[in-house]
Amino acid sequence: MAKKKISTPGILIAIGGAEDKFEEKYILNRFFEFSGGKKACIAILPSASQDERTGPAYHSIFSDFGAKTVDILPIFHHDDAYDETAVKTLEQATGIFLTGGDQNKITAVLSKTPAFEAIQKAHLKGAVIGGTSAGAAALSDPMIGGGSRGSLARSGMAKIAPGLGLAKSLIVDQHFHQRERLGRLMYAVMLNSHLVGVGVDEDTAAVIHPNEQIEVIGRGTVTIVDARKVQMFNPAGVPDKSPLVFSNIVLHTLTHGSRFSLKTSSLILERRSRGD
């Protein structure tokens, strides 16, 4: 009797937003290659955006790369996520791309629907899930649904909300250094110290592999915020906007080609260039 083949979950790609769409398109090309290259069947979900141009812009890019199929799925309302054609497209996709906008809208539209179940099934079978800006934030559960800027961790800096839960051990923030979001990511991981914070700069991506390694690609940095051994006063008891007292949060800064192991909480001393 033949053994049943066990599928490996696909890669997750959290893009910090404002990725290059006009010149080299390096990050989007890597998503395309991870999804199967010219054999890729890509589904674009513009659920987070109110801009009708968002989906077609990515459709044009992935089509020009040479993907086998590229579909924009107009899932903007909860009822849309029950559409049988959209569900079938998601089930068969080798790459699913979540655009930017509002991450709270993504979860409101997709939560507990056949479309989201199809995304989960496709990912477990190996499909790549990529998200930019809001699409990156929505990959985790809980997720950062909003908040205030600043490098100092203060009480109430981050609005914590239910996310998609595809990134099991992480909580993701985006536009990271450009919008001064270190403080809110630190606050978020203090509230959820079993999760590792991943702050992704613009035109940069954290490629999260099934073996729990994070690979960095792009022009900026990825900041890892590890609060799994944090010592602190109860942040829930601190008045809003007050600085938090804490110790033993570990920060790691990674650039293009860097790899980080979530299992060992350490840098993997092997760098890759843009040509690799």
**Catalytic residue annotation:** 133, 175, 202
Structure-token pair, residue 152:
């100092």
Spatial contact of 41 and 69, defined as CB atoms under 8 Å apart: yes
Whether the bond between 210 and the residue before it is cis, its omega within 30 degrees of 0, is: no
C-alpha distance from residue 85 to each of 71, 80, 81, 134 (Å): 11, 10, 10, 25
For 122, phi and psi rounded to 5 degrees?
A: -60, -40
For 274, phi and psi rounded to 5 degrees?
A: -65, -20
Whether the bond between 56 and the residue before it is cis, its omega within 30 degrees of 0, is: no
